[in-house]
Amino acid sequence: MQIVLFPGQGSQSKGMGAELFERYADWTSEADAVLGYSIRELCVDDPRNELGLTQFTQPALFIVNALMYRARLDDGGAKPDFVAGHSLGEYNALLAAGCFDFTTGVRLVKERGALMGRVSGGGMAAVIGLEPEKIQTVLFASDEGRRVDVANFNSFEQTVIAGPRPDLDAVKPALEAAGARMVIPLNVSAPFHSRYMREAQNEFDRFLQGFKFAAPAIPVISNVRARPYEGDMVRATLAEQIGNSVRWLDSMLYLLEQPDPTFEEVGPGQVLTKLLKQIQKRAKR
């Protein structure tokens, strides 16, 4: 089974996609028209230091992922049997599966990035070296912890939590006492993929009402459910994704159960490949 994975926010880097914008001038001009600025300038030169800002990161990464996948197909790559994407990368998985066209995808991620970028207050932290179940036990054990959500179940070794910053600080000693090697604050503007994003989720749900989505032509693994999308659930699932956990660990465990799975990351960097290696190492025990 050929499985393609698309990375999400955090994989962006200055210079990404440089060789693809001229190769695919049609999509580049379509993106510029939707965004109102030069996507090539943002990704390659980043003259205003905007690439790390959510409202710019999300369209930039979606577009570069999409160009890289188009190039992969044009260069003879086989159509995958499954696709999955981490958070923002899920939009690339849905594009690859034919649920919407490229221009629609740019419109979607532009709005998603703008809504998520407007949320302020709160933060996120990566918990390293402590199993997800133990992290949840620690969080449930205190008032501060119960105000913190698990945002990303990334691997057995890496979990991201989100919530008010004072509560994140308060739970750090308990997590370390339970065995976490590190609890690292992340440089983000808001507690993404948590209950604190529900207002943005509701706004995005209203925005999505103006779109029609096709059923996936290739199975797409949902971040929210860690199982393939149901054909008529694209709109609802995309809205839910903003305010709910990214179940990446369970998604990869599901895909590892498929016959002879072969994974390929399509996008800048190797973040998902590294997470997959962690998961595979532990799953084989």
For the beta carbon of residue 201, count every other beta carbon within 10 angstroms: 19
Q: Indicate the fold that domain 123-185 takes in CATH.
A: Alpha-Beta Plaits (3.30.70)
Q: Sign of torsion, CA 134 137 142 147?
A: positive
Convert the pLDDT of each residue in 90-114 to its tens digit: 999 999 999 999 999 999 999 999 9
In whole angstroms, how far apart are CA 249 and each of 8, 23, 31, 132, 146?
Answer: 15, 35, 32, 10, 22
Please identify which residue in the block is written with the tokens 């979990």: 159
Whole-structure pTM value: 0.95
Q: In the predicted model, is pLDDT for residue 72 greater than 90?
A: yes
CATH second-level architecture of 2-119+194-283?
3-Layer(aba) Sandwich (3.40)
Q: 71: buried, middle or exposed (CB in 10 Å: 19+, 13-18, 0-12)?
A: middle
Helix (H/G/I), strand (E/B), else coil: 228: strand
Would you say 136 and 148 are in contact if contact means Cβ atoms under 8 Å apart?
A: no
Position 285 pLDDT exceeds 60: no
Residue carrying the six token digits 């890289």: 68
Residue 204 clears pLDDT 80, i.e. is over it: yes
> 25 falls in which pLDDT band (50, 70, 90)?
very high
Within 10 angstroms of residue 194's Cβ, the number of other Cβ atoms is 24
Task: Report, as residue numbers or ranges, the catalytic residues.
Answer: 87, 193
Q: pLDDT for 229-284, tens place per residue? A: 987 889 999 999 999 999 999 999 999 999 999 999 999 999 999 999 999 988 76
Average pLDDT, the chain: 96
Phi, psi of 195 (to 5 degrees): -60, -25
Write the DSSP symbol of residue 154. -
Q: What is the DSSP letter of 246?
A: B
Question: Which residue has 């698990």 as its token pair?
Answer: 150
- Which residues are 263's β-sheet partners? 3
Residue pLDDT, tens place only, 149-201 = 999 999 999 999 999 999 999 999 999 999 999 999 998 889 999 999 999 99
Residue 127 has pLDDT above 80, yes or no: yes
Edge-first strand order for the sheet with 2-6 is 220-221, 82-85, 2-6, 262-265
Segments making up each domain of the chain, as ranges:
2-119+194-283, 123-185
Which stretches within the chain are classed as H helix? Answer: 25-35, 39-40, 54-74, 89-96, 102-118, 132-140, 165-177, 198-208, 234-242, 248-256, 271-283
Local structure of residue 5 (DSSP, 8 states): E
